[in-house]
Amino acid sequence: MGVYSNKDIKQAINDDLIVCVPYDEHHVSEASLDITLGHYFYKQEFDEQYRVYNPFDQSDVMRYFKGPLEAIPHQEWCKNNGLKLFANIPPEHPVIVLRPGERILAHTHEFVGIRPTGGACEIRSRSSWGRNGVAVCFDAGWIDPGYINRITLEIYNLNQHESVILPVGERIGQIIFHHTGEVEGDYSDGRKGMSGKYQH
């Protein structure tokens, strides 16, 4: 039991216990696997007519989250917002920009997860993003055995006064893999009637 080391992660990927597509061996750290930011996202749609959000009403969820939206080229975003290009980001590179206090639902570029015989995993912000006031998985970071897909990222700009630019493809989070005992049911078989609705 315990956390997978880098040697464990590489061996588990080789044995198909951990799935990561595409896989870059350089993204394996001492005890985690870095994941990158995908192109699409949902953002909160503010409407003064509504003061209460009901997450149990699908129509209200659709109203509340605008999207899917797609990251746009850096130079296009700057032109649209009357700003000069930011340093060290190529003009054509797609970006997502978060306003102060804004939260979006984004996704990993990678299809990633762990077979039920391998364990479970969790996602956390990379420390460099945390220091810059960006939370990558604000609360729901646990990934159950057998769940293999692109991972939803709850990205939150914790900065109160400044927007933050997120380049697509940037290493934004890290997955930590845990050994578990034998599990009864998992996402790959619908968890025997439990809530495996996001697997497909």
Asked if residues 96 and 72 have their Cβ atoms less than 8 Å apart, the reply is no
Asked if residues 143 and 151 have their Cβ atoms less than 8 Å apart, the reply is yes
Give the strand pairing for 164-167 and 94-98. Answer: antiparallel
What tens digit of pLDDT does each residue of 21-55 get? 999 999 999 999 999 999 999 998 777 777 788 99
Report, as residue numbers or ranges, the catalytic residues: 154
What tens digit of pLDDT does each residue of 49-77 get? 777 889 999 998 888 889 999 999 999 99
pTM of the model: 0.88
Q: What is the pLDDT averaged over residues 178-187?
A: 80
| Residue 91: strand, helix, or coil | coil
Task: Work out the mean pLDDT of the chain and round it to a whole number.
Answer: 90
Domains and CATH numbers, the chain: 2-182 (2.70.40.10)
For 71-126, where are the E strands, in sequence order?
72-73, 94-98, 103-114, 120-125
Instruction: Count other Cβ atoms within 10 Å, centred on residue 38.
Output: 20
At 74, give phi and psi (nearest 5°): -50, -50
Q: What is the pLDDT averaged over residues 159-188?
A: 90
Least confident of 5-14, 50-59, 163-172: 50-59
Confidence of residue 189 (pLDDT cuts 50, 70, 90): low
What tens digit of pLDDT does each residue of 122-158 get? 999 999 999 999 999 877 789 999 999 999 999 999 9
Between CA 137 and CA 157 the distance in angstroms is 11
Asked if residues 134 and 4 have their Cβ atoms less than 8 Å apart, the reply is no
